[in-house]
Chains A and B, each alone.
Chain A
Amino acid sequence: MKKIELCTPISEENIRRLNVGDYVFLNGTIITARDLAHRRMMKYMAEKKSIPFSLEGMALYHCGPLVKAHGDEWTVLAAGPTTSMRMESFEDGIIENLGVRLIIGKGGMGEKTREAMRRYGAAYAAFTGGAAVLAAKCIKRIIDVKWLDLGLPEAVWIFEVKHFGPLIIGIDSHGRSIYEEVRAETLRRLSGIIKDVISE
Chain B
Amino acid sequence: MNLQSLIEKLTVNLLWLAVTELPADVKKALQDAYMRERNPVGKIQLKAILENIQLAEEERIPMCQDTGLISFYVKASSGFRGLSKIEEALMKAVKRATVEIPLRPNAVNPFTQKNTKDNTGRYIPYIHWSMIDEDYMEITAFPKGGGSENMCALRILKPADGLSGLKRFVIESVVDAGGMPCPPTIIGVGVGGISDVAMNLAKKALLRPISESNPDPIIASLERDLLRAVNSTGIGPMGLGGDSTALALKIEYAHRHPASYPVAIAFQCWAARRATARIHLDGSVECLSHRGRDLL
A contacts, CB < 8 Å to B: 1, 21, 23, 63-66, 68, 77-80, 82-83, 85, 106-108, 126, 128-134, 136-137, 151-153, 166, 168, 170, 178-179, 181-183, 185-187, 189-190, 193-194, 196-198, 200
Q: Tell me how far the C-beta of B96 lies from the nearest C-beta in chain A, rounded to whole angstroms.
A: 15
Contact across chains for B147 and A83 when beta carbons are under 8 A apart: yes
Given contact pairs A80-B65, A83-B180, A107 touches B239 in the complex (Cβ within 8 A): yes
**Contacting residue for B233 out of A64, A134, A190, CB 8 A:** A190
A132 and B239 contact, CB distance less than 8 A: no
Residues A21 and B52 in contact in the complex (CB < 8 Å), given A107-B178, A187-B175, A194-B168: no
A166 touches B150 (CB 8 A): no
Q: Is the CB of A168 within 8 A of B225?
A: no
- Which of B52, B164, B171 contacts A130, CB < 8 Å? B52
Q: Is the CB of B241 within 8 A of A151?
A: no
Question: Interface of B with A (CB < 8 Å)?
Answer: 40-41, 44-45, 47-49, 51-52, 55-56, 59, 61-67, 102-105, 115, 145-147, 150, 164, 167-168, 171-172, 175, 178-180, 182, 225-226, 228-229, 232-241, 269-271
- Are B226 and A130 within 8 A (Cβ)? no
Instruction: Return the 8 tightest CB-CB contacts between A and B, nearest first.
Output: A128-B48, A78-B65, A129-B182, A131-B52, A66-B65, A197-B229, A133-B55, A130-B64
Distance in Å from the Cβ of A97 to the closest Cβ of chain B?
26
Q: Which residues of B contact A108 (CB under 8 A)?
A: 178-179, 239
CA distance A10 to B103 in the complex (A): 34
Q: Do A134 and B62 touch (CB < 8 A)?
A: no
What are the residues of chain A within 8 A of B65 when measuring CB–CB?
63-66, 77-80, 132, 153
Q: Does B63 lie within 8 Å of A179, measured CB to CB?
A: no
The docked-state distance in angstroms from the alpha carbon of A85 to that of B239 is 13
B52 touches A132 (CB 8 A): yes
For B41, the closest partner residue in chain A by CB is: A168
Given A182-B241, A189-B232, A134:B66 Cβ within 8 A: no
